[in-house]
Copies of this chain bind each other. A is one copy, B any other.
Amino acid sequence: MPEAPRLDNSTQPTDEELRTLDAHWRAANYLAAGQIYLLANPLLTEPLRPEHIKPRLLGHWGTSPGLNLVHTHLNRVIKNRALDALCIWGPGHGGPSVLANSWLEGSYSETYRDVTRDAQGMELLMRQFSFPGGVPSHVAPEVPGSIHEGGELGYSLAHAYGAALDHPGLLVACVIGDGEAETGPLAGSWHANKFLDPVHDGAVLPILHLNGYKIANPTVLSRLPQSELDALLRGYGHEPIHVSGDDPATVHRAMAQAMDTALDRIAEAQRAAREEGVTERPHWPVIVLRTPKGWTGPAEVDGEPVEGTWRSHQVPLAGVHDNPEHLRQLEAWLRSYRPEELFDAEGRPVADVLACVPEGSRRLGATPYANGGLLVRDLPIPSLDDFAVPVDKPGTTLHEPTRVLGDLLAQVMRDTADRRDFRLVGPDETASNRLQAVFDASGKAWQAETLDVDEHLDRHGRVMEVLSEHLCQGWLEGYLLTGRHGLFSCYEAFVHIVDSMVNQHIKWLRTSRRLPWRAPIASLNYLLTSHVWRQDHNGFSHQDPGFVDHVLNKSPEVVRVYLPPDANTLLSVADHALRSRDYVNVVVAGKQPCFDWLSMDEARVHCARGAGIWAWAGTEDGSREPDVVLACAGDVPTQETLAAAHLLRRHLPDLSVRVVNVVDLARLLPREEHPHGMNDFEYDGLFTTDKPVIFAYHGYPWLIHRLAYRRTGHQHLHVRGYKEAGTTTTPFDMVVRNDLDRYRLVMDVIDRVPGLAVRATAVRQRMADARTRHHAWIREHGTDLPEVAEWNWNA
């Protein structure tokens, strides 16, 4: 491994500098503790009395002093080196700390005018914290300077890398708690440095904060011998720099030196790559900061050690309302920071406290990188007509929809070659998902060793492939939140791996949309392909269409779900998704050859409506309502529905059939429940109020009922979909096993249109016979019936 650069002695902090750094740190600690406890008397201008204490004591003290230390020292280097920096606070439970620092530097008061940087504002800052109707206890969208909610742990480092990509001038510091470090996603994120381009990307500086304890247990990493921890970090590709201690003066000096060393090394690695063309992967620094949990808080409470133990995780002194000794301890603790030295008579921070604070948008709470909507530019999206497939007759030609989309994405990739604000992420499946045209425009990011046989690897590539859905999701979130665009292509079944992450991102967007100072960011776009109906290779483990259900439980102002039935509708939907802001768009589309149903112009109109009648596919004459509605959503269900319509046209030509295709699933919801919801007039116009609706749906059938249960005609709605009848088999066998096949749909029509059962006995038997024939054929040949394999709409 490379020799570390020598430490430049000029970076040794002076005693005076250390004194002001400590003042800043004490001020932040004071404000953090004050937020947990105080309702009034913020400056302790009078003795502390029970009525100054909040009725409910909520918040996490344990991590706060460590976060404050990091913030203080980041301030120093940002100011000294004129850095553009962003910090991801992994232990986001430490909301009091980040709020305190933002208030100290003034960015809080600039964002929230009523919380002024004086005694009155300090009282409000403290009172509102974790107070009903106030601010949440974690680092949340409401906190200036944050892009990361640290409530659910595990994603900080992935977010940090996502933020650093294509921001060559940015330093992204990332505090990782030793609790968080035990999570799988965090453990997997360390290897993200194999994908970070020292030329076009910024730097990530991980700061592993070992404060020793989780809620109730020691942490694994804090209890490793140092040799083992060092081996681990070196194995992750990092060069560790250690800072340990519980004496503030010593730790301040060590931390200042560590920060300087780390930033010198980063600067040198970037210089070598950018100026000398060095391509060897740098061994980036990591700072290991070992300080006591709840540092500077009460050492003991009721005879039990608290500082330096798990007991300081949340509220170290819980009995302050009723226990005078606790109240006394709290007052002594707060006064130990000597607030009278830190704030003037009006409650404003004194000059010493602010000495380390950088100016303007370099302040961590004011950086535009944490309010990515300020930076985002519209994506150059070419005309869809250049990529559309020609459709003279519907249902005659076949295209692989995702391959067609791949051409469009390649053009976007080309057109952003200089801007570098568009990335495609996916778990090793870009080509498997047939998007490989993008490789003509950009290779795959890769900084590890390469061999001659490798293809499309590129030190400067903007396609990101790693076998971790967590890392893909985290990268993309970090990338979008800092003002760029992207798309996550994923096997449909395995996107459930990030269920929990998308929850948190939706919550983030839902909250940030309501904050006037947060500018809209590009939507998080999923392309779910290799879907449930086409897992011919992989079978049951790869069959799960439930992500749509998961997402549709979340805030309707954020979530959108699209099921384009063919190549041109996929283009139209993708175009819309890539232009949109502040949404999570879920697009489900197949990669296998699929009939082209709509021309580009028709696709545009249909997708804009989100749901509509395909008049050419039905047999209604317009003079009256149809006898039955065949509805469909999804590519495979659309094909089976069209085939069923075809069979009905041939075998029951008198039957008046309407075909409705749904692209935008939320259209089925009432308007009051989702902004895309149809009103009843529209819904009834499409689906009727009293005719049978046979709905062939891509996923779990009850989802359609859950969306449409309030509609007048709901009792006539009959849905077919995936019902966990999965295995390794042919495409048609899959739909037969799940009763979604054309023959079953025709039987459903016959069973549900009043009077038809008697009239169409022979046709029904014919359909049942076809299913029997299928079973026999596949057992014998292992393939689908020729009449199915060769079917097309115009046959």
A contact residues vs B (CB 8 Å cutoff): 1, 54-56, 58-59, 93, 130-138, 140, 149, 151-154, 179-180, 182-191, 194, 214-220, 223-225, 227-237, 305, 308-309, 314, 428-432, 444, 446, 448-451, 453-454, 457, 465-471, 493-494, 496-497, 499-500, 503-504, 507, 510-511, 536-542, 544, 546, 549-550, 553-555, 700, 702-703, 705-706, 709, 714, 724, 726-730, 733, 778-779, 781-783
A730 contacts B216, C-beta separation under 8 Å? no
B184 contacts A183, C-beta separation under 8 Å? yes
A180 contacts B216, C-beta separation under 8 Å? no
B549 contacts A700, C-beta separation under 8 Å? no
A183 contacts B468, C-beta separation under 8 Å? yes
B431 contacts A467, C-beta separation under 8 Å? no
> Which residue, A187, A451, A549, has most C-beta atoms of chain B within 10 A?
A187
10 new A-B contacts at CB < 8 Å, known A496-B500, A546-B550: A56-B782, A136-B539, A152-B542, A184-B470, A215-B432, A217-B428, A223-B449, A229-B235, A309-B453, A553-B700
A496 contacts B494, C-beta separation under 8 Å? no
Smallest distance from the beta carbon of A59 to chain B beta carbons, Å?
8
B235 contacts A728, C-beta separation under 8 Å? no
User: How far does the alpha carbon of A137 sit from the alpha carbon of B539 in the complex, in Å?
Assistant: 7
Of the residues B188, B232, B449, contact of A235 by C-beta under 8 Å: B232
A730 contacts B188, C-beta separation under 8 Å? no
Smallest distance from the beta carbon of A38 to chain B beta carbons, Å?
13
A539 contacts B494, C-beta separation under 8 Å? no
User: How far does the alpha carbon of A693 sit from the alpha carbon of B788 in the complex, in Å?
Assistant: 47
User: How far does the alpha carbon of A726 sit from the alpha carbon of B235 in the complex, in Å?
Assistant: 41
B536 contacts A58, C-beta separation under 8 Å? yes
Please indicate the chain B residues that have their CB under 8 angstroms from the CB of A153 in the complex.
Answer: 467
Please indicate the chain B residues that have their CB under 8 angstroms from the CB of A185 in the complex.
Answer: 184, 188
A729-B133 contact in complex given A231-B234, A510-B724, C-beta closer than 8 Å: yes
B194 contacts A184, C-beta separation under 8 Å? no
Q: How many copies altogether?
A: 2
Closest to A706 in B: B706
B507 contacts A496, C-beta separation under 8 Å? no
Closest to A558 in B: B724
Smallest distance from the beta carbon of A428 to chain B beta carbons, Å?
4
A138 contacts B539, C-beta separation under 8 Å? yes
A136 contacts B1, C-beta separation under 8 Å? no
B131 contacts A541, C-beta separation under 8 Å? no
A778-B132 contact in complex given A180-B467, A496-B500, C-beta closer than 8 Å: yes
Question: Top 6 A-B pairs ranked by shortest CB distance?
Answer: A232-B235, A151-B541, A184-B188, A184-B184, A231-B235, A223-B448
Please indicate the chain B residues that have their CB under 8 angstroms from the CB of A58 in the complex.
Answer: 536-537, 728
A783 contacts B56, C-beta separation under 8 Å? yes
Of the residues B135, B467, B538, contact of A151 by C-beta under 8 Å: B538
Please indicate the chain B residues that have their CB under 8 angstroms from the CB of A189 in the complex.
Answer: 184
Q: List 14 A-B contacts (CB under 8 A).
A: A56-B782, A133-B779, A136-B540, A140-B540, A182-B188, A183-B469, A184-B184, A184-B185, A224-B235, A224-B448, A232-B236, A233-B235, A496-B503, A553-B702
User: How far does the alpha carbon of A779 sit from the alpha carbon of B128 in the complex, in Å?
Assistant: 10
Closest to A194 in B: B220
Smallest distance from the beta carbon of A364 to chain B beta carbons, Å?
21
Smallest distance from the beta carbon of A40 to chain B beta carbons, Å?
12
Please indicate the chain B residues that have their CB under 8 angstroms from the CB of A187 in the complex.
Answer: 184, 187-188, 190-191
A431 contacts B232, C-beta separation under 8 Å? no
A56 contacts B140, C-beta separation under 8 Å? no
Of the residues B134, B494, B783, contact of A500 by C-beta under 8 Å: B494
Smallest distance from the beta carbon of A228 to chain B beta carbons, Å?
6
A305-B496 contact in complex given A468-B184, A542-B151, C-beta closer than 8 Å: no
Please indicate the chain B residues that have their CB under 8 angstroms from the CB of A54 in the complex.
Answer: 782
Please indicate the chain B residues that have their CB under 8 angstroms from the CB of A449 in the complex.
Answer: 218, 223-225
Please indicate the chain B residues that have their CB under 8 angstroms from the CB of A237 in the complex.
Answer: 224, 228
Smallest distance from the beta carbon of A667 to chain B beta carbons, Å?
16
User: How far does the alpha carbon of A161 sit from the alpha carbon of B210 in the complex, in Å?
Assistant: 26
Closest to A673 in B: B702
Please indicate the chain B residues that have their CB under 8 angstroms from the CB of A497 in the complex.
Answer: 152, 154, 499-500
Of the residues B138, B227, B448, B709, contact of A218 by C-beta under 8 Å: B448
> Which residue, A59, A194, A465, A728, has most C-beta atoms of chain B within 10 A?
A728
Closest to A177 in B: B467
A136-B467 contact in complex given A184-B185, A705-B706, A782-B131, C-beta closer than 8 Å: no
Please indicate the chain B residues that have their CB under 8 angstroms from the CB of A507 in the complex.
Answer: 540-541, 724, 726
User: How far does the alpha carbon of A183 sit from the alpha carbon of B158 in the complex, in Å?
Assistant: 13
A184 contacts B186, C-beta separation under 8 Å? yes
Smallest distance from the beta carbon of A695 to chain B beta carbons, Å?
13
Smallest distance from the beta carbon of A304 to chain B beta carbons, Å?
9
Smallest distance from the beta carbon of A554 to chain B beta carbons, Å?
7
Closest to A544 in B: B503
Please indicate the chain B residues that have their CB under 8 angstroms from the CB of A59 in the complex.
Answer: 537
User: How far does the alpha carbon of A735 sit from the alpha carbon of B431 in the complex, in Å?
Assistant: 48
